[in-house]
Structure 1
Amino acid sequence: MVAEVFPLADIGLPLGARVPDFTLPDARGRLVRLAERLRTGPVVLIFCRSEGCSCCAVRLRAYLRALPELAEFGAALITISPRPPVPTLSTEDEHRRSLDVLGDVEQRVFADFGLRRELSGEPVPATFVLDRQGVVRARHVGVDHGTTMEPADALAAVEAITLG
């Protein structure tokens, strides 16, 4: 059996790339379009392996704690899972419209972002920080799903985008 080898530089969209627009459903069935979120400010986009992934759950809790600071810079937080989204996060956060929990069941957005392993079909966890034009300004792609971009690093990228 041949092992899959995925150099991190070869996975996911690179720095400076313009991301493809997408529309995905949230837990309430509402369609959320990336371009609409980018109109109001930067976007921190987190791709999770699954709702049940303990590493992803820890990462999301850390980002939820950073959500008020991200919102101060007008940034939105979008999480995407390959499963249908479930309404498990605070409705207060959802009402602020700075958080979207979306499902990409067909993994089209994962594929568009270069985050699907061709041989296994598994999604790769990643975090991208996008400016208002949809350009990748910071990224972390982790084949080892235990590694991630820390919220403080995403916040620093958002601050740099916003303050120029």
Structure 2
Amino acid sequence: MTSSASSASLRAKFRALEEERERTWESAALAVNLTQRATLVRDHGKTASVVKKGDILPPCTLPAVDGGTVSLDDLVAKGPAVLIFFRFAGCPACNIALPHYDKTLWSELKASDIPLVAISPQPIDLLAQIATRHNLPFPVATDTGLTLSRTLGLSYTFDTASRQSALAKGGKSEALNGLENTWELPKPAVIVLDPGRIVRFADVSPDWMDRTESDRVLAALGLGIKGASHAA
């Protein structure tokens, strides 16, 4: 049986984080965050072809933080697989989302022998921190150079204020995506992939504080959620 904290919806958990930020962040910093997210929602899908149901993903093999590799063809060799795209290991929302998926999604997938892999463009040495921090039981892999994210229309570029804020804190784009002076990350997304790398389900979240709930993923796979309530 999951605890009430783990069974709360992602929306509820993110709202709690929003409320904490409203209490503790300076208004200027909060405005930068909110403006970037609002811009991404407004412009979503306008400048790139975003992955959708029926698309066929290109063959791809990604390095994993455990030293192995993850091949899309291997993932779907026996049936469907789930891909979770996230931003980077230090992203507060990602540190809510991935443990949430572990508690509310992974056990159902594992019982049905459905693979799950979490994907970020962050270099492996830094990316490994989120897998270790939460003892994630599923593979975490790096999308080197944002190649797959860009192909799927997931990537976005920081606006000027967000880039300046990151630089003022001593940040470097290489620490987020391995690319020099390229402030680009994937929008969070969940993709259910069928054999042949055919997309069965795709949900892209331009606002990284509003992500796919586990029950939608399980529904796409014809599975149910046991032992937890996922009301918003």
Scaled by the length of structure 2, the TM-score of the pair is 0.59
Answer yes or no: is 1:20 the counterpart of 2:58. Answer: yes
Answer yes or no: is 1:145 the counterpart of 2:208. Answer: yes
Aligned to 1:48: 86
SS of match in other structure, 2:202: strand
SS of match in other structure, 1:159: coil
Aligned to 1:6: 43
Give distance in 2, aligned partners of 1:7 and 1:25: 28
Residue 39 of structure 1: CA displacement?
A: 0.6
Give 1:42's aligned amino acid.
P
Gaps of 5+ in 1: 94-98
SS of match in other structure, 2:203: strand
Answer yes or no: is 1:123 the counterpart of 2:186. Answer: yes
Answer yes or no: is 1:77 the counterpart of 2:116. Answer: yes
| Number of residue-to-residue matches in the alignment | 152
Residue 135 of structure 1: CA displacement?
A: 1.5
Residue 121 of structure 1: CA displacement?
A: 3.1
Q: Between Structure 1 and Structure 2, which shows a larger proportion of helix residues?
A: 2
Larger radius of gyration: 2
Aligned to 1:68: 107
Kindly provide the CA deviation profile for residues 97-134 of structure 1, in whole angstroms up to 9, marking residues without a partner as x. Answer: xx210012311111121112368633221111112232
Scaled by the length of structure 1, the TM-score of the pair is 0.81
SS of match in other structure, 1:45: strand
- The farther-off stretch of 119-128 and 46-55 is 119-128
Kept in 2, the 8 Å contact 1:41–1:132? The answer is yes
Counting aligned pairs with the same residue, the percent is 30
Aligned to 1:112: 151
Kindly provide the CA deviation profile for residues 65-116 of structure 1, in whole angstroms up to 9, marking residues without a partner as x. Answer: 121111222211111111123141537x2xxxxx210012311111121112
Kindly provide the CA deviation profile for residues 9-68 of structure 1, in whole angstroms up to 9, marking residues without a partner as x. Answer: 855211111111211111122121111011122111111011111111211111111211
Aligned to 2:219: 156
Alpha-carbon distance change, 78 to 113 in structure 1, aligned in 2, over 3 angstroms: same
Aligned to 1:90: 135
SS of match in other structure, 2:186: coil
SS of match in other structure, 2:156: coil
- The farther-off stretch of 29-38 and 81-90 is 81-90
